[in-house]
Every structure is written in structure tokens, then in C-alpha cells.
Amino acid sequence: METSIKSDAFDKFVQASSCILNPEIEAWKEQGGKVAGFFCSTVPEEIFTAAGIMPFRMRGTGSTGTELSDSCFSAINCSFPRHTMNQALKGEYDFLDGLICINSCDHVRRIYDNWIRHLKTPFVEVMSLPRKIEQPQIDWYRDEINVLKGQIEEHFKVEITDKNLRDAIKLHNEIRSLQKQLYELRKVDNPPITGTETLAVMVAGTAMPRPQYKALLEELLEDLSGHEGTGKYRARIMIVGGELDDPEYIKIIEEQGGLVVTDSTCFGTRLMWRPVDEDNLDPVQALASYYIYDRPSCPRMYGDQERRIDYTREMAKEFNVDGIIGERLLFCDQWLVEHYMTNLDLKDDGIPFMALDREYILSGKGQLRTRVQAFLEKLEAAEN
């Protein structure tokens, strides 16, 4: 990745985000550490940390095709599970000691069925995720987390105490706070870090031991102190969407002159803009409340669209956004409907919005550049 940032910490983040099995994981495994993969940002990774296990957010990074997973999925399945499963069938995820799947959507849910049939990961479980955000669903998810907690304790022969959980929540909240500080730097007219660079940092945070990530993030923030960006851009852009772990997608937008200054994605602000409640006497209840209600949701959750659009409006105002791009993986019905409603709502607010469909592996770059170019010209025309 081309960058003007002079930082060893940032270089490590880029390396960790650009592949699956990175040096940080290899070092962790060599020391006897366990790694558990998980799908979807609704899985409470604090549970793994509390058990002394490194959580790893599943990706299809590095995939060039779906020749192996095509026997598991059809051509009209989302390309994210297809590419991720293909990487697993190639052996890229053989380092995992466990995997947690979740019914975040039907496409991801079916990974569990295919994984247990074709692969030999020692510990594979599936979680049930409710679709509403009210108290009964929070309590339901609390039970799901407790079930997962018990499964981890039994398989890995560990005890996850309330103290362990509180310590894990505190660590993850500290990371969230540092990530938020990173985003705060992007509010200025000349941000010291681009959207492309920020996404690499955020993805790395799901792919290395969390104490090490926290230390490197503190180092990066110090390195960015006094650093100035180029200041050359045509418009300030916000990204709204779901699975987006490829900085190259943001890079194409920024190469056209659109500086991405914030987002509402599941590798971005929805991971960390708000903390888990550390004052709750029941840490499992605190996690359930956070992952179901407290943090910004995605269209997977029914009845929460009004809060989602309010969050989008607030972020757009806070970061002085000129326009919003909605990114969606093909065949994702949830985000298709969400972007339609978002477009209607933002029209009332006078905020320009453009929806862009894409495959998980970046393709059609020319078309993407053309559409971004047209959107930026529209924003410039509106200012004149």
C-alpha cells in the first residue's frame, strides 16, 4: 500500500490486513496460543479473549476464485462466504483451533453445514442471533452467549470467570476508544490518515492478539501526531454498508478524489463507536445488550431502521460529509432494501447518496471508477 505515513506500527497493520495467516498469528501459535475464527461482528469476541483465545474475524482475503467452494454454494450466493469457504478448503484456515458461525444471514449460516462436512477444525459451533432489538431478544442472546461460554470452557478446558470477562471487556473498550481517536483525526480539513489506510488498521484489529494490537495502535496515534495529509480532494465521503474488508475498494474512491472520512460498516464505526457497559454487574448481560441494542445495528435487525438513519445523519454532520456511498455485496437482500430506504431518507435531508453493488473480490474497477467519478462531479456541481 502506497502511503506517506512513516510508522512501523502502520506497516504491521498493513501486513496483518493483507493476508490471512500473518506473522502476528504465527508468533501467537508458536507460543502455544489458540485461535478461534468467527463470522459477523455480532459475535462477542470478548468471550474468546476472556478464555485466553485469540479471536479472528473470518475473511476471504487473497482468494482468486471459488473453484472449490462452488460445490458448496450456488452462483447466486453472496461471494463473501464463497470466497471465504474456498480459502478454507485450500487450507488457508488450517491454523484455526475453533470456529463460531452465526445465522447473521442465510448465506453465512450455511457455511457451518459445509464446514463440518468438509473440514476438520477441532471445535465448530453455531450461534443463534435474534432479529429484533427489544429486551426479550437481549435476554435470549444472553442465553446464547452463556451457551457459547460453556462450550468453550468444556472444549478448551478453561474457566471463563466474571473477572476474566470484565478484564476482556475493559481491554476491548480501550481498543474501541483508541480506534475512535483514530477516526476523530479525520474530522479536520486535512486528515493525517486516509480512508484506505484507516480500513487497513481496522481490519488488522480483527486479525492479531488484542493486547499487541492495542499497543501498536497507541504507537500509530503517536506517529500520526503532527502528520499532515495531502489536503487534495474533491469531496468528503462516507461509506455505508456491510462486509467491507478490502482497502483497495476505498483506494479506488480516493484515487478519483473522494476522501473517505467516516463510515457505517461492520469493519468500521459499528465495531467501536460505542463501548460495552463496564458498570453492569453481569458482564454477559452487558455483552448481550451491546451486541443486540447498544451499538449501531445493520439491516439484519428488524425495527431499527430509524435509529440507523439517524446514526448515518449524525456521522455525516459530525464529519462534514459531502456525499454518501452505499456499498453492497451482490445478492445481499438486506442491504438492497436498506439502501433504498436510506436513499429516500437522505433525499429529504439534501444529502447526496449513491448505491454501488460489488463482488467480494474487487472486479469491474473501470466501471467503479466511472460511477465514482460521476458522483463526485454531481457533488461539485451542487456546490457551485
Pairing mode of beta strands 34-38, 98-102: parallel
- Residue 23's pLDDT is 96
Give, for 230, the enclosing helix (H) or strand (E): none
Residues 109/102, Cβ–Cβ less than 8 Å = yes
CA dihedral over 367, 373, 379, 384, signed as positive or negative? negative
Task: Give pLDDT, residue 232.
Answer: 84
Contact 252, 372 (CB under 8 A): yes
C-alpha to C-alpha distance for 227 and 27, rounded to whole angstroms: 31
Contacts of 173 (CB under 8 A, 6+ apart): 275, 276, 278
Which pairing describes strands 258-264 and 353-358: parallel, antiparallel, or unpaired? Answer: unpaired
Indicate the pTM of the whole model. Answer: 0.96
Q: Which helix (H) or strand (E) holds 25?
A: helix 23-30
pLDDT in tens, the chain (384 residues): 778 888 999 999 999 999 999 999 999 999 999 999 999 999 999 999 999 999 999 999 999 999 999 999 988 899 999 999 999 999 999 999 999 999 998 899 999 999 999 999 999 999 999 999 999 999 999 999 999 999 999 999 999 999 999 999 999 999 999 999 999 999 999 999 999 999 999 999 999 999 999 999 999 999 999 888 877 899 999 999 999 999 999 999 999 999 999 999 999 999 999 999 999 999 999 999 999 999 999 999 999 999 999 999 999 999 999 999 999 999 999 999 999 999 999 999 999 999 999 999 988 788 899 999 999 999 998 876
Cα–Cα separations (whole angstroms), residue 157 to 30, 75, 166, 171, 270: 20, 41, 20, 23, 32
What phi and psi, each to the nearest 5 degrees, are found at residue 179? -65, -40
Fold designation for 20-163:
Rossmann fold (3.40.50)
146 - beta bridge partners?
A: none
Q: Contact at 8 Å (CB) between 107 and 78?
A: yes
CATH of 171-383, one of 3.20.20.100, 3.40.50.300, 3.40.50.11900, 2.60.40.1180: 3.40.50.11900
Rounded Cα gap, residues 349 and 286, in angstroms: 35
Tens digit of each residue's pLDDT (9 = 90 or more) over 110-160: 999 999 999 999 999 999 999 999 999 999 999 999 999 999 999 999 999
What does the alpha-carbon distance between residue 377 and residue 187 come to, in Å, rounded to a whole number?
A: 22
Question: Can you tell me which residue has the cell 478446558?
Answer: 157
Cα–Cα distance between 47 and 11 in angstroms, integer?
29
What are the residue ranges spanned by the domains of the chain?
A: 20-163, 171-383
CA 152, chain centre distance (Å) = 23
Query: 290, 294, 296: which is closest to 267 by C-alpha?
Result: 296
The one-letter code for the residue type at 327 is E
Phi then psi for residue 165, to 5 deg, are -65, -45
Contact (Cβ atoms closer than 8 angstroms) between residue 121 and residue 115 = yes
Do the beta carbons of residue 36 and residue 99 sit within 8 Å? yes
Domains 20-163 and 171-383 share a fold: yes
Residue 241's region, left for phi above 0, alpha for psi from -120 to 50, else beta, is: left
What is the grid cell recorded at 189? Answer: 480539513
